[in-house]
Structure 1
Amino acid sequence: MPAPIRLDIPFFAAPSEKVLTGGKTSPEALRQAQAQGVAKIVNLCPPSEDLGFDEPALAAALGLAYENIPVAGGADLTRENAQRLADAIASAPGPVLVHCMSSNRVGALFALKAHWLDGKSVDAAIAEGRAHGLKAMEAGVRQLLER
């Protein structure tokens, strides 16, 4: 069995073998990810949020698949973006790193995916969101799930 992947990024979590989550990445973190077998990077930051480096270009140079699903705030927490996240993970041949700046939007979108697409209860979806980084957006996510 391969060693668990560990990346030096804020709020890093490994909720499953296929999905890794966290906050703001760096060139070093992407190199670590590639060296440890990560296959795809999914960035939830809109292009207006500066990571301090060209993440799509570096991902391409490292041979990592890359996808951007811009989630600027609550208005972008949609069923369409939850589906895009599910599709991005399903299409990856190996582990996927899903990140934003603090992992909060990551957890929010995973909670929505868990309820809307995977059929989990509201409480189970919130728990899944927390495991993926949901923090400050929890009340708003719960309102969306209880509609």
Structure 2
Amino acid sequence: MNTPWRFAEDHYAGGQPTPAHLAELVREGVRTVINLRAPEEPAEYDEAAEAARLGVHYVSLPIAGAADLDRARVREFGQTLDDARREGGVLIHCASSNRVGAMIALDATLNRGCSLEAALKRGREAGLATLEPAVVALAENEGARS
């Protein structure tokens, strides 16, 4: 677990949040939680139930690793992010934020037309690390601009 951080206006990234993290983020204006963890990844509490208790919209969009980075999931993530932005702040998390950064970078380049270089910078700010080669491969395969 790591403490979620703001990587863009009203956008937070992090590893698995605690109930206390969620409560604090709600006070900061977060209205949607996007969980990228796979269902089989262990969690110490029922995050969906805690989000509901706090009045926060909860979305599970499992990304287990590089093999799950594909165009369809990137489109779905982009739409989910757009929906979340209309409601207020958003927390996107996985276990370490590496998958968060990967999806942020792919969304930026494939859904929003950012250059790959700018998208990777955004992704790194949100936690992109070891998944960067997979992000670059998919972006280039999908014709992202340099």
**Is TM (by shorter chain) over 0.5?**
yes
Question: In structure 1, which of residues 119, 128, 133 is the aligned counterpart of residue 127 of structure 2?
Answer: 133
Q: Give the letter aligned to residue 88 of structure 2.
A: G
Alignment match, 2:60 = 68
What is the CA distance between 1:25 and its match in structure 2?
0.9
- For residue 70 of structure 1, give the secondary structure of its aligned residue in structure 2: coil
For structure 1, which segment, 112-121 or 62-71, has the greater mean C-alpha deviation from structure 2 after superposition? 112-121
Percent identity between matched residues is 39
- For residue 30 of structure 1, give the secondary structure of its aligned residue in structure 2: helix
Would the aligned equivalents of 1:45 and 1:72 in 2 still touch at CA under 8 Å?
A: yes
Say if 2:77 is the partner of 1:89. Answer: no
What is the CA distance between 1:120 and its match in structure 2?
1.4
For structure 1, which segment, 57-66 or 10-19, has the greater mean C-alpha deviation from structure 2 after superposition? 10-19
- For residue 14 of structure 1, give the secondary structure of its aligned residue in structure 2: strand
Q: Give the letter aligned to residue 104 of structure 1.
A: N
List aligned pairs for 1:1-147, cutoff 5 A: 10=2, 12-92=4-84, 93-147=87-141
TM-superposition CA deviations, 1:96-143 (whole Å, max 9, x none): 000000000000011111111111122111111111110111122112
TM-score by length of 2: 0.89
Would the aligned equivalents of 2:4 and 2:17 in 1 still touch at CA under 8 Å?
A: no
Q: Give the letter aligned to residue 42 of structure 1.
A: I
Going by fraction, where is strand more abundant, 1 or 2?
2
Going by fraction, where is helix more abundant, 1 or 2?
2
Would the aligned equivalents of 2:3 and 2:17 in 1 still touch at CA under 8 Å?
A: no
What is the CA distance between 1:86 and its match in structure 2?
1.6
Query: For residues 56 and 123 of structure 1, what CA distance do their matches in structure 2 show?
Result: 35
TM-superposition CA deviations, 1:34-78 (whole Å, max 9, x none): 222210100000110112110000100110000000000112111
For this pair of structures, how many residues does the alignment match? 139
For structure 2, the 5+ residue unaligned runs are 142-146
- For residue 146 of structure 1, give the secondary structure of its aligned residue in structure 2: helix
RMSD (Å) for aligned C-alpha atoms: 1.4
Query: For residues 12 and 34 of structure 1, what CA distance do their matches in structure 2 show?
Result: 12
What is the CA distance between 1:146 and its match in structure 2?
1.8
TM-score by length of 1: 0.88
- For residue 113 of structure 2, give the secondary structure of its aligned residue in structure 1: coil
